[in-house]
Amino acid sequence: MKTKEDVESYLMRMGVPYADTGDSTWVITGADGVENMAIAFDAPVLVFRVKVLPLPKDPAQKIELYETVLGFNAREMVHGAYGIEADSLVITDALQLENLDFNEFQATVDDITLAVADHYTRLSKFRAAA
């Protein structure tokens, strides 16, 4: 099983800027347009989370947003999925620590980063409605 030290070594190896919050959580602070991707060590899994945008207030806009991200989940997300946490749209993923390797870790960070960048244009209209 991988340890907290292994996770931190993966972050260093990737060369992304990050902060250690001291509570088994690291926050990537600016990798290719993704701000504040949290990575939490919660054995037996490693949880990734990034807030994408606040949910729109208008019910019709919410329905359109939900349909859009469900389509992304079905067609475009390799690692993780869009979800709702409180009043925000987030992307989350969890990886098993027992078999975690650097390539899997990097692929998850890269896929979430790519999803945020690739989907930004299509989701930006919902940010204005929030």
Spatial separation of the C-alpha atoms in residues 27 and 99, rounded to whole Å: 22
The pTM for the full model equals 0.92
Residue-level pLDDT, tens digit, the chain, 130 residues? 999 999 999 999 999 899 999 899 999 987 666 678 999 999 999 999 999 999 999 999 999 999 999 999 999 998 899 999 999 999 999 999 999 999 999 999 999 999 998 998 999 999 866 6
Spatial separation of the C-alpha atoms in residues 90 and 80, rounded to whole Å: 10
Specify the 3-state DSSP secondary structure of 96: strand
Do residues 75 and 61 touch, judged by C-beta distance below 8 A?
no
Cα-Cα-Cα-Cα torsion 38, 55, 122, 91, nearest 10 degrees, comes to 30
Dihedral sign, Cα of residue 52, residue 55, residue 60, residue 66: positive
| Residue located via tokens 């990097």 | 106
CATH number of the domain to which 63 belongs: 3.30.1460.10
User: What pLDDT does residue 34 have?
Assistant: 67
62 sits in which H/E element: helix 59-75
Domain boundaries, position 78: 4-129
User: What pLDDT does residue 35 have?
Assistant: 73
Do residues 28 and 109 touch, judged by C-beta distance below 8 A?
yes
User: What pLDDT does residue 59 have?
Assistant: 95
Domain count, the chain: 1
